[in-house]
Structure 1
């Protein structure tokens, strides 16, 4: 049976801090729903029981930013792949904070590794849903992939910006991400 609350509990926070992967879902008013698996250490910061900052590195698409311009709903999901079963869903409102925004310096300061940062998502939790998760299989964590971070380390900031200008300004549905403009 699901247990729905309006904020993270200390048990929820501990559960989140022990996870190696999470999933983010957003949707525009019309178009494809986007579901993305996320990993990498030091990209998800719990500020308080209702506020999260999520550092988003650049990659092949920028669907989340485009979707949030139309509909600011976001769902974040964590699953227990080891230990006691649990699925934790966070139903949220979110917005993208870019390097040009007043909050950028404050928010980026929460993260140790800043290279390749595309945006920080300011996420406000409206509901927390814990459910059983007994159908989620058990997996052994081997490690985070280093392909992406190695790529970031061997390329320059100028190359990162050039890539984002080429690949991250328009979503897969042709929606503007406002990555380099207001």
Structure 2
């Protein structure tokens, strides 16, 4: 039932465009496996072999720690409505942190140079394998909308509060691995 592809062709791009969420999975040797649900609102197919998503400030930064230590990343989409299908993108990832040249270039290309509230990094994936499977076991769900909670939280914190929060909560993983997130406050503003 599973099918392998070397690239993200137009059929798979269209499937990704229709999805409302995805999961990012990462790990490093000796670490816990991290799986994070994400909205596709900030997901971008950059080419037939690369994708990226803008990552908002959250309670931890496991993905960036794992990418720094190991680099492996899997992104999975599931069809929760319509025809059943699961699509996984396997590859090597890296982070472009808020304030870096790569982050600013990404914002210029995809967000008119303006970071969404709470943006902390861009996660980029160089896709090595595209795999689809049946998705017959995935339940059907109705999409209601995006939650405004994270945006409201970030707005309430303000830039200085977000810088401090990232410094406190996003500099190391649950397992003590460094995330590589810059510590200088001027990289976040």
Q: Which runs of 4+ in 1 moved over 3 A?
A: none
Structure 1: state its 5+ residue gaps: none
Count of matched residue positions in the alignment of Structure 1 and Structure 2: 181
| CA–CA separation in structure 2 for the residues paired with 1:40 and 1:137 | 19
Contact 1:108/1:114, CA 8 A, preserved across alignment:
no
Distance 1:40 1:123, change over 3 A: closer
- Structure 1 residues 181 and 161 mapped into 2: Cα distance closer, same or farther (>3 Å)? closer
What is the RMSD of the two structures over their aligned residues, measured on CA atoms? 1.6
1:129 aligns with 2:131: yes
1:76 maps to 75
Partner of 1:142: 144
- Between the aligned partners of 2:79 and 2:98, the Cα distance in structure 1 is 34
Q: Which residue in the other structure is 2:121 paired with?
A: 119
- C-alpha distance in 2 between matches for 1:136 and 1:99: 35
Find the counterpart in structure 1 of residue 163 from structure 2. 161
- For the 8 Å contact 1:40–1:144, the answer to whether it is kept is no
Offset of residue 115 of structure 1: 2.2
Could you say which residue in structure 2 is the equivalent of 1:39?
A: 39
Q: TM-score, normalised by structure 2?
A: 0.91
Partner residue, 1:97: 96
Query: Scaled by the length of structure 1, what TM-score is found?
Result: 0.94
